[in-house]
Amino acid sequence: MSAFLVSDGTIDRVVKAFSLHYPDHQPDLNEIGRMMVAMNASALNQRYTAAQVREAWGDPDPYAYTYTEHEDDKPSLAMLKALHCFTYQCAEGNVPESDLYKRVQAVEDGLEEYVAGAYKCERRDIYNLPDYNELPWDFD
C-alpha cells in the first residue's frame, strides 16, 4: 500500500461529513480538520521514513489548515469519495486502531448506506456509479 498527504479540498469534505454525522459534538471545523491532517501525517510517518515524508510533502503542519466550504453538484458523493480517499491514505501503522479513525469510518459507513439508498444500489456497487467515478480521488 502507498499513502499520500491528501489535499485540503479532501479534508474539507471529510470535515463536512464528520460535522453532519456528529451534529451534537461540534468543535470548531478548523480543529476537526487539523485533527484529520495530523492523522494523515501520522499514517505517512508510519509508512515512510522522515526523510521521505519531508522530500514528498515537506513538514505537514496541521495548524496551517483552514476549513473551506465547497459547492459540489453531488455533495453526498463528493463527501463519500473524499472519505474513501482519506481512510485509504490513513490506513497505515496503528492509525486504523485510533478512536478518530474509527469515528471517521463510522461516518463513511453511514454515508455509504445513505448513498446506496439514494442510488438504489448495494454499497459495493457505489464504486461503479458513473457519478462517483467522475469525481476526483483527491480534491484540489
For the cut 60, the answer to whether the pLDDT of residue 1 exceeds it is: no
98-131 pLDDT, tens digit per residue, is 999 999 999 999 999 999 999 999 999 999 999 9
Give the predicted TM-score (pTM) of the model.
0.94
Instruction: Kindly tell me if the per-residue pLDDT of 33 is higher than 60.
Output: yes
> How many whole angstroms separate alpha carbon 1 and alpha carbon 91?
9
Q: Is the pLDDT of residue 26 over 70?
A: no
Question: Residue ranges of the domains in the chain?
Answer: 8-133
CA distance 128 to 77: 12
Chain CA centroid to CA 25, Å: 18
Please answer whether residues 21 and 106 qualify as being in contact, where contact means their C-beta atoms are separated by less than 8 angstroms. Answer: yes
pLDDT tens for each residue of 62-83: 999 999 999 999 999 999 999 9
